[in-house]
Amino acid sequence: MTVFFRLIVYFASYTKKSIIDEFAQMNITESVIGTIKFVTFAILSVHRLTHQQFLNKMKTIDLNDYVKSGAGANGDSYFNLRDENEMVKLYNPDYPTGSIYDELEVAQKVYREGIPSPEPGVLVTDGERIGIQFRRIVGKRSFSRMLADEPERVAEFAGEFARCCKELHSHECAEGAFPDAKQQFLSLLEAVEQPASIKGRMEDFIRCVPDCNTALHGDMHIGNLISTLPAGAPLSSPHKVMFIDLGYFSHGFPLFDFGMFRAICLSSDEEFRQHDFHVNGKMTAEFWNHMVREYFFSSDRLAEKYFGPGQTVESVTGALVPYECCKYLLVQYNLGFLPENYQKVLNATFG
């Protein structure tokens, strides 16, 4: 897809995230962005790209052939009743079209890189909503569902989660293959409304983060890692583990990947955890502590590498707060506001 066509898609569907991501990759200045906006909307006023026109170019599916298998904040997933190897993810009607294109393209790149993830197919529509076709992973459960089903195994599951994160973070991305997380956060920082003092301190922090090409999931948490491990089976049993929801995949410093995960485990409200992840705050806090212990304090001693000698689970947890705050920028940009509980953490960290 050409850059120009992507820009039309983005502006036509009013997607802020896609614009930020694309411009961060191309290093386009704010003045040029303004010009592109003007030209794009002028073109659209002559030949308006509508949601229906996009639908007409996609594979149409009949939902009578599918059964709903899950629901999330951005849409619903369905299994194909006629083909057990196919599933689709249909996004909410108001979800930006450009972001769906983005997620498909990123998912294809991630799969080609050999990173464990479901094989993506094509864009689909049920006539109203747009979605993405994937190869179905039969028997899969998210780690959040595994934790809800078998809470007594929290230490086991947290250990495997940490090992999967390490494996991902051992992967070096090809130059320019994925967006630079650091540049994305700097672009988001310019776009959101926060006191100048907070923005200044956050910019200083982000610019001091080391540059690297490490693969980052971008939205790492217990809902975005799935496993085919049957309930009750030991971890030594044959099974697959895969990353899903790859729309924010990027490259950068590994600690960026713990931002959203820390927010969900330690800073989010109880209703949100229960609704989206099926577990309470006590369980996510316990999972977090086990995960930190496995990721940062195993034989490779990453806690010392990243934070210096003499670290504890508590000190590492505290040191990761600024990375959590970086993820708040995306939350605020997408919602148009920052929830009060997150704002308090941001104020305490950078205020």
The strand pairing partners of 172, in sequence order, are 214
Torsion of CA 335, 336, 338, 339, to 10 degrees: -60
Q: Could you tell me if 189 and 203 are in contact, meaning their C-beta atoms sit under 8 angstroms apart?
A: yes
- Return the pLDDT at 180: 96
Please write the tens of the pLDDT for every residue from 6-40. Answer: 444 444 433 444 444 455 555 555 445 455 444 44
Residue 42's contacts (CB-CB under 8 Å, 6 or more residues apart) are none
Phi, psi of 130 (to 5 degrees): -105, 145
Strands of 86-91's sheet in order across: 59-60, 120-125, 130-135, 86-91, 75-80, 66-71
The whole-angstrom separation of Cα 67 and Cα 197 is 50
Q: Which residue has the higher pLDDT, 252 or 299?
A: 252
pLDDT at 55: 57
Q: What is the CATH architecture of 141-350?
A: Alpha-Beta Complex (3.90)
User: Is the confidence at residue 46, as pLDDT, over 50?
Assistant: no
**Token code pair at residue 168:** 């991902």
> In 3D, which of 328, 179, 188 has the Cα closest to residue 249?
179
pLDDT tens for each residue of 301-321: 999 999 999 999 999 999 999
pLDDT digits (tens, 9 = 90+) for 76-115: 999 999 999 999 999 999 888 888 988 999 999 999 999 9
Question: Which of these CATH numbers, 3.30.200.20, 3.40.50.720, 3.30.10.20, 3.40.50.2300, describes 56-135?
Answer: 3.30.200.20
| CA–CA dist 305, 209 (Å, integer) | 14
Q: Looking at 180-222, list the stretches that DSSP marks H as alpha helix, in order from N- to C-terminal side.
A: 181-191, 196-208
| Closest C-alpha to 63, from 40, 84, 82, 85 | 82
Spell out the domain ranges in the chain. Answer: 3-49, 56-135, 141-350
279 within 8 A of 148, measured Cβ to Cβ: yes
Output the pLDDT for position 154.
98
